[in-house]
Structure 1
């Protein structure tokens, strides 16, 4: 493995931020760490980079124990959310900066910077300064600066979050294509579930400094290990109802049943009575908010077949679409 974390703990002022993190990133793998704000994503990244000291555990890069090494000796490259470009330097100088300070000859550094810029699609911007670049162009320069160092591990800290929605989709595709071309181990942190599902070879879902689940995007979506993963990955989120609630017979007593909104059928005969509280139209889809006795649920249906707010309808769910979780622990049953 190119990157390995074993029992990594990080504490600040007596408060433990990371609780014994175990994960690996293989050569040429893109692992996405996904979680809400405050989950410890950036702290984990900084611990790998050596910017935040590890309280306990071990960080290994390219089969070297780097736990006690300074950042400059770890051979990692980091792409920050804020890009962190020098405003007084040109794009070419920003890209080559890390090589120059490591005494790489200027001609070689310039050529490597040119090649890296060409790879990420900003070769025509080398003479411009950051203030003359758009957000997407600055992001490409930041990626080229990381690429030019030929690191063992690329660390990406929410690199797309400052972009507008359209550009974020474009850069997501470009980042995926870039990784396919250049390879290398990448550890990418984000709070955006779509970004994680699209980009990741695997995803590690982080909550309160602990790993809830590691798996492929298909595994995270199809077999969530906990109710947290089930609710966090999916929009609208998965419905969670007691097995002895309004839809009985779909799970053992004492469990919670999880149902994706797209698996909730409306209007069929013999279903459970439900009241439509409100409807949100989202393009071709409609999110229908339902009251089932004392409980609520969301259905996702084609917009053209949506019921009206205030209407009475019925709910049906196939047992094949049900996820079952232990009600006490929240773990998959």
Structure 2
């Protein structure tokens, strides 16, 4: 059974269409990450599901129910906001129980369920504190407990880790993934952080300008990007993209190529430096990150290429190197459409 279905959903803000016929199916118990740059429509997807934004076309189904016209309170979803949205004058236990109490759940039962939810997310020792006495990570746990306590059909998480520092973000990523696996909840998590998406997701939906560019597992998104947009957006540094008729000629058995303009894409780790008969390139700069180094190169025709190499074997700035890449490690894209080409 599907936990959530967006069936051709469009949404507009004033005269601007923000979502264009979005089709997404989230299985029950799945963690789907919606990934994309600012302005892609990620948060609008969540707001449409929550009933905070109307749709101009299409239908929204939650747990098998058509909720397109339903008010937010009747959709049985919980949302975790980027700002956490905790009430500063309430204690942690009061914040967690608030949603239950306003729905006329007896106070004793609401507090008991709040304590159980706090235990699940690891903030049971904070129940008598107020939000101003909590760290960013603690406030995040409280916000998750408040969403969890309602036992919703779908959890909606709107960039919940973006306000945390790098180390705490990594810790909370692991905790969020573990929480999902433990409770088996249906979750839709929005982020612009590709690392967060790759680590957390069962599947990723990449959005671009309000349209779904690709949906797939993290491995599929990484290894078989459906377009040059996905190829550039997922990966840091991004995938190299060069004209197929340019100076670089990948080694190995070449596929049969269609007679049209194409681009060749390949990850920095696929580049082989100091190849005996490779394509000449000049080293513009080198960035060392621990045991790895990224060499930023320019081919003779002016195209840029990034190569990942061991830091101990990094080339010197200004040096001329020869690079190669095997056909097996390349991706082909149609120039006209930007979509993947599978010859």
What is the TM-score normalised by the length of structure 1?
0.99
Assess if the C-alpha contact under 8 Å between 2:201 and 2:218 holds in 1.
yes
Please give the alpha-carbon distance, in whole angstroms, between the structure 2 residues aligned to 1:21 and 1:109: 37
Please give the alpha-carbon distance, in whole angstroms, between the structure 2 residues aligned to 1:282 and 1:71: 47
Mapping of residues 231-242 of structure 1, within 5 Å: 231-242=232-243
User: 1:175-223 CA deviation, whole Å, 9 max, x = no partner?
Assistant: 0000000111100000000100000000000000000000001110111
Please give the alpha-carbon distance, in whole angstroms, between the structure 1 residues aligned to 2:247 and 2:67: 54
Q: Which residue of 2 aligns with 1:44?
A: 45
Q: Which residue of 2 aligns with 1:314?
A: 322
User: 1:99-155 CA deviation, whole Å, 9 max, x = no partner?
Assistant: 000000000000000000000000000000000000000000000000000000000
Q: 1:304 deviation in Å?
A: 1.0
Q: Which residue of 1 aligns with 2:167?
A: 166
Q: Which residue of 2 aligns with 1:147?
A: 148
Mapping of residues 271-286 of structure 1, within 5 Å: 271-286=278-293
1:61 aligns with 2:68: no
- Select which of 332, 338, 341 maps to 1:324: 332
Mapping of residues 286-305 of structure 1, within 5 Å: 286-293=293-300, 294-305=302-313
Q: Which residue of 2 aligns with 1:265?
A: 272
Assess if the C-alpha contact under 8 Å between 2:249 and 2:279 holds in 1.
no
Assess if the C-alpha contact under 8 Å between 1:246 and 1:295 holds in 2.
no
Assess if the C-alpha contact under 8 Å between 1:35 and 1:205 holds in 2.
yes
Please give the alpha-carbon distance, in whole angstroms, between the structure 1 residues aligned to 2:32 and 2:163: 21
Assess if the C-alpha contact under 8 Å between 1:2 and 1:185 holds in 2.
yes
Assess if the C-alpha contact under 8 Å between 2:282 and 2:297 holds in 1.
yes
Q: Which residue of 2 aligns with 1:195?
A: 196
Note the aligned Cα RMSD (angstroms). Answer: 0.9
Q: Which residue of 2 aligns with 1:185?
A: 186
Please give the alpha-carbon distance, in whole angstroms, between the structure 2 residues aligned to 1:206 and 1:83: 24
Q: 1:69 deviation in Å?
A: 0.9
Q: Which residue of 2 aligns with 1:207?
A: 208
Please give the alpha-carbon distance, in whole angstroms, between the structure 2 residues aligned to 1:129 and 1:91: 6
Q: Which residue of 1 aligns with 2:104?
A: 103
Please give the alpha-carbon distance, in whole angstroms, between the structure 2 residues aligned to 1:302 and 1:79: 41
Please give the alpha-carbon distance, in whole angstroms, between the structure 2 residues aligned to 1:213 and 1:107: 46
Q: For residue 169 of structure 1, give the secondary structure of its aligned residue in structure 2.
A: helix
In the comparison of the two structures, how many residue pairs are matched? 333
Q: For residue 340 of structure 2, give the secondary structure of its aligned residue in structure 1.
A: coil
Range that drifts further, 165-174 or 54-63 = 54-63
User: 1:32-66 CA deviation, whole Å, 9 max, x = no partner?
Assistant: 00000000000111000001111111000011111
Runs in 1 of length 4+ with deviation above 2 angstroms? 248-253
Q: 1:170 deviation in Å?
A: 0.1
Q: Which residue of 1 aligns with 2:91?
A: 90
What is the TM-score normalised by the length of structure 2?
0.96
Gapped regions of structure 2 (runs ≥ 5): none
Please give the alpha-carbon distance, in whole angstroms, between the structure 1 residues aligned to 2:180 and 2:267: 31
Gapped regions of structure 1 (runs ≥ 5): none
1:13 aligns with 2:20: no
User: 1:61-116 CA deviation, whole Å, 9 max, x = no partner?
Assistant: 01111111111110000000000000000000000000000000000000000000
